[in-house]
Structure 1
């Protein structure tokens, strides 16, 4: 699979680097690194599939990030 393109309003940051962090630490780090929107979700949360450049999503279980992705 080709790498994801870097879009405007999107910092050079690897979402995988947030996996394993505590939710608040991950959210604080993402905002400090320039993500314009940070969204934390419980596993299985129903969300729309629109892509928003500059947004970082976290799937959080028991206060810890288990998955992170752009958009």
Structure 2
């Protein structure tokens, strides 16, 4: 029987630290800090609610991160 895969852990990083940053700077910083996936979304974008370890979501308004959350 094959071993059960272990999902990656989220980096020990606060999403709140990205709010207010320019979107491109925030994405670069997030990848440096170990986030495997960084997703930038326009305000009001419809997304699925599945949780993905290692993913950081940004809501970007006027080129800046207005909100950030894990998953």
Query: Please, what TM-score do these two structures have when normalized by structure 1?
Result: 0.88
Secondary structure of the structure 1 residue equivalent to 2:56: strand
Aligned to 2:22: 22
Unmatched segments (≥5 aa) in structure 2: 1-6
Kindly report the root-mean-square deviation, in angstroms, between the aligned alpha carbons of the 2 structures: 1.1
In 1, the alpha carbon distance for the partners of 2:9 and 2:37 equals 10
Q: Please say which structure displays the higher CA radius of gyration.
A: 2
* Number of aligned residue pairs: 65
In 2, the alpha carbon distance for the partners of 1:17 and 1:42 equals 19
Q: What does 1:52-71 correspond to in 2, within 5 Å?
A: 52-71=52-71
**Superposed CA offset, 1:12-61 (max 9, x none):** 00000000000000000000000000000000000000000000000000
Query: Please, what TM-score do these two structures have when normalized by structure 2?
Result: 0.88
In 2, the alpha carbon distance for the partners of 1:11 and 1:42 equals 24
Secondary structure of the structure 1 residue equivalent to 2:31: helix
